Amino acid sequence: MLTIQRIFAAVLLLVCIGLALMAWPYQAAFSYEPVGPRAFPLLILGLMGLALLYMLFRPTPIVHSDEEPQLDRATLQKIAICIGLLLVFAGTFEPLGFILAGTLIGVPMARLYGGRWVPSIVVSTLMAISLYLLFDKVMDVPLPLGLLDILEN
Mean pLDDT of the chain: 87
Sequence ranges of the domains in the chain: 2-57, 73-151
Asked if 23 and 41 touch (Cβ cutoff 8 Å), the reply is: yes
pLDDT digits (tens, 9 = 90+) for 37-63: 777 788 899 999 999 999 898 877 667
DSSP one-letter code for 38: T
Q: What is the pTM of this model?
A: 0.64
Q: Which amino acid is at 79?
A: I
11 pLDDT tier (thresholds 50, 70, 90) = very high
Calpha distance 74→70 (Å, rounded): 9
- DSSP conformation letters of 73-118: HHHHHHHHHHHHHHHHHHHHHHHH-HHHHHHHHHHHHHHHTT--HH
Q: Minimal CA–CA distance to 19: which of 55, 56, 54, 44? A: 44
Among the listed ranges 41-45, 51-55, 113-117, 129-133, which one has the minimum average pLDDT value?
A: 41-45
